[in-house]
Amino acid sequence: MNEKDFIEIDIEEIEPIELSDWEKINIEKSVLRSSSTKKYVFKKWKWVSIVAMLTFIFTSSSIWLPVVANRVPIVQQLLNNNDNPQLQVFSDNASIINQIDESNGTSIELAEAFFDGTIVSVSYEMKHEQSIDEPPLFWKGDLEVNGNKLDVLSHQIVKKNEATWIGMFTARISDKVMDEKVNVQWRPQDFIGMENTTLVEGAWDFQLELTPTRAYSRKVNIPFGNDQYQLFYNQITEGKYITTLYFEGNLDWETEFLMVDIKDNLGNVYENVGTTTIKSGSGRVNGYFEVFIPDSTIRTLIITPTIRIVDEKTLERKELVPLPSINISLK
């Protein structure tokens, strides 16, 4: 198909494609965010995906799988129509925790947790005394591993009933692979909604020890980009749960974002892959992005980068600069 073929598309003959609830939420948030004149303050690390550019995203790609739901009491109550196999890994490897703590009439049960050598992931259920209509997406308080505070990378929550929400969050422990047990402390205080309103007040405390599954890490030097954007991958970490590709290069952290479209040698397409970057110098960034590799026979990732240039104030897109695809071999 070429451009003229597209012009001849008869829009009255188009059959709609199903849009997931998640996609709908992201569109809505992106529209409202773009329309807003509010200035959003990013943390030092900036996680961005094509949807996160315009909305404050609160989850990575879906992680629940109905096949394993029966074996995972809390997870089984979550999304039951998503076939993302990442949950199978979570289910197969997660430790059952079942710690319950109550504060101010609200109980939280930390159900299961999993550590793949670089990433920790925790599922929980929160029961409140009254209904909570707005997603309690954020919390005050700390998540610590071995005494180091972590930022949550992704957080998914689902409403079970009027007063109960179920969630799972993931945090990166280290850029390096860890092969020893870690001590995790999660001490949430006050859950907050998208509009920065406190939805649930309280203070909870969980402590657990997690043993990692085996992960691999290797330094690489794989350039990509073009004359203007000279970047390279410098490390690849492969765990059961997440494969992480680290990169660095010359990008303006404020206005130029690396986006990636990823396929593999089996034809799988990885959707909603966000990149996280940190400014490492004038016009330079370090960053990484993560994908779940669903099949151990997958040998190659085909990564097509695009630089998205945005308006510094509104974050609205000004230009997309496609860069050449590059193949990355896995272990």
State the residues that interact with other proteins by CB under 8 A.
3-4, 6-9, 11-12, 14-19, 23-24, 26-28, 30-32, 34-35, 50-51, 53-54, 259-261, 263, 269, 271-272, 304, 306, 308, 317, 319-320, 322
Of 207 and 226, nearer to other proteins (C-beta) is 226
Nearest of 101, 96, 108, 98 to residue 71 by alpha carbon: 96
Is the distance from CB of 125 to CB of 106 less than 8 angstroms? no
Of 15 and 180, nearer to other proteins (C-beta) is 15
Angle value at C-alpha 95, between 92 and 97, nearest 5 degrees: 140
Of 281 and 322, nearer to other proteins (C-beta) is 322
Helices then strands, counting H and E runs in the chain, come out as: 4, 21
**The two three-digit tokens of residue 52, written as one number:** 């996160």
Report, in Å, the least distance between residue 322 CB and other proteins.
Answer: 5
Of 27 and 192, nearer to other proteins (C-beta) is 27
Report, in Å, the least distance between residue 245 CB and other proteins.
Answer: 16
Nearest of 111, 24, 108 to residue 69 by alpha carbon: 111
Calpha distance 273→139 (Å, rounded)? 24
Calpha distance 87→61 (Å, rounded)? 11
Of 195 and 312, nearer to other proteins (C-beta) is 195
Report, in Å, the least distance between residue 238 CB and other proteins.
Answer: 22
Cite the DSSP H helix spans in the chain. Answer: 3-7, 21-35, 66-69, 86-93
Report, in Å, the least distance between residue 39 CB and other proteins.
Answer: 18
Is the distance from CB of 315 to CB of 282 less than 8 angstroms? no
Of 220 and 320, nearer to other proteins (C-beta) is 320
Residue type at 217 in one-letter notation: S
Report, in Å, the least distance between residue 112 CB and other proteins.
Answer: 30
Report, in Å, the least distance between residue 326 CB and other proteins.
Answer: 15
Report, in Å, the least distance between residue 28 CB and other proteins.
Answer: 6
Q: Pairing mode, if any, of strands 138-145 and 182-192?
A: antiparallel
> Three-state SS for 119?
strand
Of 111 and 307, nearer to other proteins (C-beta) is 307
**The two three-digit tokens of residue 145, written as one number:** 């591993």
